[in-house]
Structures are given as C-alpha cells and as structure tokens.
Amino acid sequence: MRSTATRTRLAAAAATAGIVVLAGCSSSGSSDKASASSCDPAKGKVTLQYWNTVPGMDKVVDLWNKQHPDIQVETKNISNDQYGTLGNALKADKAPDLAQVGYDELPNLRTQSAFVDASACKAATAAKSKFVPWTWSQTSFGDTGVFAIPQDTGPMALYVRSDLFKKYNVAIPTTWDEYATAAEKLHKADPNLDMTFFDPNNAEWFNGLLWQNDARMYGYSGDKWQVSVDSAQSRQVADYWQKLISEKVVRTDLAHGSTQMYAAYQKDQLATYVGAAWGYSMFRDNLPKQAGKWTIVPMPTWGANGSSGDWGGSTVAFMKGSKHLYESVEFNTWLNTDPDALAMENKLGGLYPAATAGLDLPALKQGVPYYNNEKIFDVFADASKKIDTSFAWGPTQKTVNLALQDAMAKAAAGSGTLDDALATAQAAALKSMKDQAIPATAGK
C-alpha cells in the first residue's frame, strides 16, 4: 500500500482536478463562491434549516438550541427520499441552509451549483485539521473551497452470528476464499441458512467492495477523467459474488434495511452481514433478542495487504441560497467536532465520526453490550486505517450507480452477469460525461 501521505496527496489531486472540470459544467462558474461580506454575523436571532437522515439527530439539535439561543436550528428528517427531496427543493429555490450529502453525491450536486463556498469564514477553513484528510479533500474538492463539513465515514467489517458458526463447527473466515468455503459448509449443514444477502439495488455497498480491492472507479490525468469502473480488479469482485449467487449460498431477494431483511436475520436464515461502522446500531435496535449472538471481525481480505473498504459516510453541505453563512458554519463545525454532539450522534444514530477527535470518544473505546461487550469500534478504527484514500468519485456517480443497479438486478434475476453490469455502468459513465461535455476516456 502507498504511504498515507502519498495517498492523501493523490486524493487531493483527483478532487482538485474534478473541480476544474465541474466548474466548467456549472451554469455559473462563480455561483457557489461566497463573498467576504457573506460571512458577517447576523444582527439578530437566526433560525437555520438542517435536513438529514440520521436517527436521533433532533435530540442533538436540541442540545445546540439550548446552548445557542441566538442561532436556532430546525431539523427535518428526509430519509424516505433524501436526494429527491433535496433536488426538488433546489429546483424550487427552497433548499435548506444545511443538508446531509453523501461523499459520492458531492460531485454530482456540484455540477448543479447546489453549494455555496464557505471558505470566506475563518472557522470553516480552520476546521480542516480536525478531520481525517481524505474526507476533507472530498468535501473541499481539493483546496479550492469549503463546500461541506465531513460528518461520518463507513469503514467496513464483517458482522458474524458467532453462535451459528459455533453450532455448525465452521471457522469464522478471514479471507474471501474462506468466506466462500464457509458459505458452502453452512448451507450444506442447514439448507435454510445462507451466508448473507446480495442486494442488487445497492450500488453504494457494491462500490465499497470494489474500493477494498483497489478497484479505483475514476482517475484524472491529461486533462481528462479516466473511467475504470470495468477494471480487472472490479471484475474479480463481480466474478466472486456471481459465483456465490449461482451456487445459491447468498440471497438476492432482500433489500438492505427492509423489514424482510430483518425477518431473515431474526429467523436465523442469514449468518453474516458485510457492512459499515454505522450499521452496528441497526442490529441493536431492530433485533434486540439477538444480543450477545453477534460479533464483528475484520472484513475478509483479498490479499496480504489486508485492505478495507468504505461504504457510505456523509457530509453536512452548505446549500445554495443560504442567507446565514456565518451561523451555518458555527453550527456545522460544532455538530461535527464537539465531543458531546459526536457522542450523541454515535449513540443515537450510529455515526462513526469523520473528526479525528471523534475516534477517541470514550464510547468508542468501550465494549458494546449488544455485541457481548466486545470493543467493536477497535475493529472499525483499524479498518479505517486500511482504506485506500486515493479512491475518488466521478462527476456523474449517480448515473453510474443507477445503471449499475439496473444491470445487477437483471443479473440477479438470471439475465446477464455482474461482469455485464460493470460494462453497462462503464458505458453509462462515459456517455453521461460526454453528454455534459466533460472530457473523459476509458481507463485501465
């Protein structure tokens, strides 16, 4: 693996390159630039709008409101249709001051001039040193501005029903080869038991698997985006999961987070879950009777380097049209760096902080009762150190994800393969960039 410094520089370079291209696609090159005067404090009481998808965030906001009577925040949960709701608000010029936006959606919304640059506020630029470097590079598009503040990350690991593995005398896997072997053994021991589920409509999860295998989907060189969604590394991952699907040791009929998914786990029909740090609260809150039956171990690896992947994680973006940039920066930096706020967000919403200080929260150093008092966050902390930070998202990621999901759903239904899905997504990426006059070519 490259050194952290080298990988960070590459991430920053890719992000900086992206902003050059994206600025050329915007309707106005300066539409998201904040003037110096825009960071002047308001002369009276201010009320901000903050939209998000995090459970319990209203309680975190209540804490802020009690401590800051002159800057009140109203929060709205938009988890039912996050980007649809946000997109409609942007079109109607009714966007909130602040909104939760995933790292992979930032470049796409940037092309729509959805953000305002908060770099005129000293508190915004000063926050850079408080976050994991790769997260800041993505939210600032290099060092060109401050369009969002990192909130959480999603280092991945393997959630294991240790009681089922013990019952059938199957070793917990440490490599993907061992994972496939264990899947066969468990299914043979109990035909109603599958290793996990593959949700074909969850491109973000699949992207995390690609990330782990050093399958960079995008690069930038020679004044062009290099699109490598359909790479050899990506096909290794696709071929692996295609085999598990064909052998019917993983299910493809469950949507992530659905009632049906939890029912399958409740009925002991699934033995593992390949997920991110924020997922720990999902099982705790939805499957309380399985307390003590789960353990979390490092993600199975492809090779000796032990790389991990990242699935999800979000930012809190400064949205276009906000009239209270100074106050938005004050709240946004508090929300994502204050120890009390971070502790509440982790406990109530399962967020794994992007702030470096957040990784030292007492709650992340203790055993978690649901997981048999194991220090599960040690696993995620170690995984976070093994994520390739040179991985970059492309400017039309949403289009790629939709194309990938559509093709993966067909493959899961027996029409085509996951390899075909990668080729479809690659073609969609190149076409969408061409349609927007973004210079791009197929990479290796």
pLDDT of residue 359: 83
Q: At what angle do helices 232-246 and 397-412 cross, to 10 degrees?
A: 30
Residues 216, 228: Cα–Cα separation, whole Å? 7
Residues 6+ positions from 160 with CB-CB distance below 8 Å = 172, 271, 272, 294, 295, 296, 297
pLDDT of residue 252: 97
pLDDT of residue 142: 63
Q: Does 414 score more than 90 pLDDT? A: yes
Greater confidence (134 vs 81) lies with 81
Quote the Cα angle for 409-413-416, to 5°. 80
HSE value, Cβ hemisphere, 13 Å, CA-based, for 62: 6
Name which of 162-166, 239-243, 314-318, 349-353 the model is least confident about. 349-353
Torsion, CA 227, CA 154, CA 178, CA 263, rounded to 10: -110
Taking residues 393-404, report their average pLDDT: 91
Taking residues 416-441, report their average pLDDT: 95
Which two three-digit tokens encode residue 202?
Answer: 């969850």
Mean pLDDT of the chain: 89
pLDDT of residue 363: 84
Q: Rounded to a whole number, what is the distance in angstroms from the first to the last CA of the chain? A: 19
> For residue 313, is it left (φ>0), alpha (ψ between -120 and 50) or beta?
left
Taking residues 154-181, report their average pLDDT: 97
Dihedral pair phi/psi, residue 407, rounded to 5°: -75, -35
Q: Does 350 score more than 80 pLDDT? A: yes
| Tokens 């043979």 sit on residue | 188
Taking residues 80-85, report their average pLDDT: 93
Taking residues 32-42, report their average pLDDT: 68
Q: Does 183 score more than 90 pLDDT? A: yes
pTM here is 0.83
Q: Does 298 score more than 60 pLDDT? A: yes
Helix (H, G, I), strand (E, B) or coil at 441: strand
**CB of 152 closer than 8 Å to CB of 313:** yes
Name which of 100-109, 136-145, 282-291 the model is least confident about. 136-145
Taking residues 433-439, report their average pLDDT: 92
Q: Does 179 score more than 70 pLDDT? A: yes
**How does pLDDT run across 6-32, given as a tens digit for each residue?**
333 333 333 333 433 343 333 333 345
Residues 341, 151: Cα–Cα separation, whole Å? 11
Residues 6+ positions from 375 with CB-CB distance below 8 Å = 365, 366, 367, 368
Residue 2: pLDDT band with limits 50, 70, 90:
very low
Residues 148, 171: Cα–Cα separation, whole Å? 43
Buried b (16+ CB within 10 A) or exposed e, 142-171: bebbbbbbbbbbbbbbbbbbbebbeebebe
Query: In angstroms, what CA-CA distances link 15 with 229, 339, 365, 392, 393?
Result: 17, 29, 33, 7, 9
pLDDT of residue 32: 54
Q: At what angle do helices 176-189 and 232-246 cross, to 10 degrees?
A: 10
**CB of 55 closer than 8 Å to CB of 279:** no
Q: Does 422 score more than 80 pLDDT? A: yes
Alpha carbon 294 to its chain's center: 23
pLDDT of residue 384: 87
DSSP annotation of 370: G
Alpha carbon 89 to its chain's center: 23
How many beta carbons lie within 10 A of that of residue 251, not counting itself? 19
pLDDT of residue 368: 94
* Beta strand ranges found along 108-234 (DSSP E): 148-150, 156-161, 196-197, 218-221, 224-227
Taking residues 378-403, report their average pLDDT: 89
Closest of 381, 404, 1 to residue 241, by C-alpha? 404
Taking residues 78-98, report their average pLDDT: 95
